A and B are shown apart, each in its own frame.
Chain A
């Protein structure tokens, strides 16, 4: 495992596969904590109202139960939620965050307890100042409790597969008429350039018309500069169509046709 960008961490599996984990920053964690505080308060008020019924039997008993319940809820909320929801409290769940082991492994119960008990140091001197400062300094955005428990808080944004059918069409690709130039194009177009072109095509509907024309114009100009195709292959071909044809040529591993 190695440190990646500040907002992500690269994990290398024993199979030799590398993947990145998105780390949650202090601001989003603070928001999640705010939601959790609201939940704890609401739960305490609700449970307190129910336990007040015991005051009918004995005022002393009712008050004692309320004191105990408030304490158990405030200490147990984080521990129970993170253990039973695999690293999530309600606030984390709403903001799509999750606590995981620093090495990307499953959380152990002792880790959950330790990071929650050590929260008391993170809250010092007030409003999570110690934890917040540590989180800002730490390369993995860890508060003190996280460092001691070897945990990190990650972001799990909703990710869906790209809708490649948006690219699908059966129109004639004039670049394929020149196989040797198409082969050279495949050699010259890099992964990043192709990725940008592919992304632009997938998101074409989201772009403003003027921005769309400008973007595809710049992409087409760049690709035209890499390999010069004969006039008959490129004349009258709009910039967006040209970019689409380039992507088509490059993405087909066995060439055109």
Chain B
């Protein structure tokens, strides 16, 4: 009965089973690789199964058979037709010292916009506090910053940070995770066509500007510099880089004059987003360690010139790293050539 269909399945089933076996192994074993002969066989099986699917397309058959063949072809299709570049082996140092700074420089205009937004926020925060000091509690939603700077400096210098004595590492790890979450949010807000990213950067700037103005106005500039510089010179640029990522995403979404479809524009920036966020993560781990283990110690434990000198040295190294590292390398993918405003360096 149903001789042709039965015969058809009987003839082809061994090939389908063989293909299914290869696909199962591919999906279960991450390290599964094939030699040339195996790849050729895989390709043959895919073509044969595709042909089977085409044959039953013009031949009434059980829907289950069609779905079974479709599932085999769909699973094979991704493997056979994937032609995008795949990293052979991840080299962490080459990535950090080359790919990361090159990616940063390739999108330098977005970084400039990110920096400018934060500076505008700083100016706004400072001006708001200057015009209406009563807004301090609104502008600085952190309890330890709402009091008088002079009192805080006096208290912290007397206590020599006894309050952190037994929780330095916990404090440090909390800072790392919190700042990383903020950075991820800043980058992800690029999905709102960059509005969310710019708002976060601006708000961050407002807080920073208000704190700076508050301490400078109270004559505590030295304390402020000694407290903020050691970790801030890495932490703040990390947030700016996350903002840069958000703006890259927003540019790809808007795609003004790029001439490419949305999916293509987004495909071009995935790698750069991941690279930037990886670099941001490393920077924030460093900043968290410094803030938890170094920044919170003030005079007389640590002289302010030492802390300021450390911060300035860090900033100099960071600027040199981001502007010079990897300059002689491959140059990375030229992503922004296709997306207007990419700002190649």
Contact = CB atoms under 8 A, between A and B. Distances in A.
B84 to A, nearest CB: 6
A202 B3 CA distance: 15
A247 B65 CA distance: 16
Contacts of B47: 15
B65 A156 contact: no
Interface in B158-210: 166-170, 172-174, 176-177, 180-181, 184-185, 187-189, 191-192, 196
Contacts of A75: 180, 184
A82 to B, nearest CB: 12
Interface residues of A, number: 75
A80 to B, nearest CB: 11
A67 B170 contact: yes
A19 B74 contact: yes
A113 B63 contact: no
Interface stretch (A28-36, A99-107, A228-236): A99-107
A19 B53 contact: yes
B36 interface: no
Which of A65, A67, A192, A253 is most buried by chain B, counting CB atoms within 10 A of its CB?
A67
A117 interface: yes
A16 B174 CA distance: 55
Contacts of B263: 102, 150
B129 interface: no
A68 B188 contact: no
A194 B60 contact: yes
B27 A60 contact: no
B24 to A, nearest CB: 11
Give the size category of B's interface with A.
35 or more
Interface in B1-15: 1-6, 9, 13
B78 A168 contact: no
Interface string B55-73: 0010111111101111101
Interface string A11-51: 10111111111000000000000000000000000000000
Contact of B6 (A19, A164, A189): A164
A195 B4 contact: no
A64 B169 contact: yes
Contacts of A202: 62, 64
A150 B4 CA distance: 42
A144 interface: yes
B16 to A, nearest CB: 8
A202 B9 CA distance: 15
Interface in A93-141: 100-102, 104-106, 108-111, 113-114, 117-121
**Ordered nearest first, which 10 A-B pairs have the shortest CB separation?**
A64-B169, A194-B60, A110-B270, A71-B177, A162-B62, A19-B70, A64-B173, A191-B60, A63-B170, A67-B173
17 contacts: A17-B54, A21-B74, A64-B170, A67-B177, A86-B27, A109-B274, A113-B273, A118-B188, A148-B253, A149-B270, A161-B9, A161-B68, A162-B65, A169-B1, A194-B60, A195-B62, A253-B4
Interface of B: 1-6, 9, 13, 16, 26-27, 30, 47, 50, 53-54, 57, 59-65, 67-71, 73-74, 77-79, 81-82, 84, 86-87, 166-170, 172-174, 176-177, 180-181, 184-185, 187-189, 191-192, 196, 249, 253, 263, 266-267, 270-271, 273-274, 277
Interface of A: 11, 13-21, 58-61, 63-65, 67-68, 70-71, 75, 84-86, 100-102, 104-106, 108-111, 113-114, 117-121, 144, 147-150, 156, 159-162, 164-165, 167-170, 189-192, 194-195, 198-199, 202, 244, 247-248, 250-254
